[in-house]
Structure 1
């Protein structure tokens, strides 16, 4: 834990810096030289109302019109469950949440893309528990978007319906309210992936996801987007163009150094915040994250 605090603190003090993938450094958060065409996003959410479809939409109306299916969160994927082995993991996600909050005081960040180098590296686990950590804060709201239209997992882990969802909205078969789900217990909202689509990349690039985030995003403190692996398909690179920050999850022993460098190169010109190395064995009770020029967390 001490390494995590020291690494992230050094990164915060240093601020954004030029990023060179050939020179990885053990920092908690690595600056990527700023955001190309930086989005002008408020550092705090709009609490009362927001413009939408020619009028103002309040949070209470959003709550009233969105879906409340009653999730059954799988405790195996929830580090905030009552399982004793999750205590350290939960604390480190709180640390990550806190450091991200402090980082965005220096750089306007609300929409965070979470991706990986290859499939099976834990990106969905990180996205889910970071969103849970945010939603469990007092008066904080998180929106979790499953943009992995090819291999969606978030609805399974949350015990939520998979459709209607993002693919239905992007293809014009659903509106904003019918794809938004809410957890009545904490301030967590979900957009599931939706029904299988034959053309995920084209749907993600058609401008509707950006428009959805622009309209809905200001209601939330954070919008966490779970995106497909970078080296598998082009989807993450498409989504990155309208996200404020990027976090890459890499599983220890799975993606080699060269593959990680290739992944980071794909985000040149974007705001790369850090890399999570998943699966190092520093703690037997909670498979830990270490860091490769990035964040350090615990769990799978």
Structure 2
């Protein structure tokens, strides 16, 4: 049997080597697929431009990252009968938690303000607050959100969490639903979004939500660019309602030349690097799923298509 890999050209060699080592199977690089009947699993960053039922022995499709919105917005690309496995990897989770902590500390210790003062050649200390005096709210209490919340709590930040449905988490005040969304916004000095992009979450970071935040609050978005209504974010920054935004994801990637985010003093951009998949660990997880499927056991981390993640 064989594996079909579809990923960025600059990542192909590393992914292919990791999958071959983890599985001992032949790895084909799309668009080369060899004997179609040999393909047992597709590992992909985005939908293939061909119907997957052309592979008669395909067991499931595994994503190369945590996000699955690229697949779900094209339901014809992944048949409903085909299991879709999202990547849940401790290495990826730890990387995201580190990014959230780094972005939070960047805002908490006023690095963005000191950068502005440097451009003005201004030497002036700002009033410092201790972590217990600054509340961090996390939108999205999945694996990534819980890990980020745990790391923030270790530093001393009070942490609130929000999800669409009720959840419980040690040390995190959990809120849910529309009322909970309004409450977490009103109480958060720094609001972190790690939500998946679904029809329910698209545009959730909008003018109405920004108006609920405390004056001068900050935003960190490491979820998906489509969560943000970008013009409304810029307006909130211009008005002073928002003090700063750290964005790892944007609606159009790469961010186009001339986009206001590039030069806006209230925006810090990173190029979708908050949590990058490590092929060597990810391949072992994908292959564990394949071995389970071969034994007739449940495949882990399957996507709930109705929920969107």
TM-score (norm 1): 0.33
TM-score (norm 2): 0.33
* Higher share of residues assigned helix: 2
Rg comparison, structure with higher value:
2
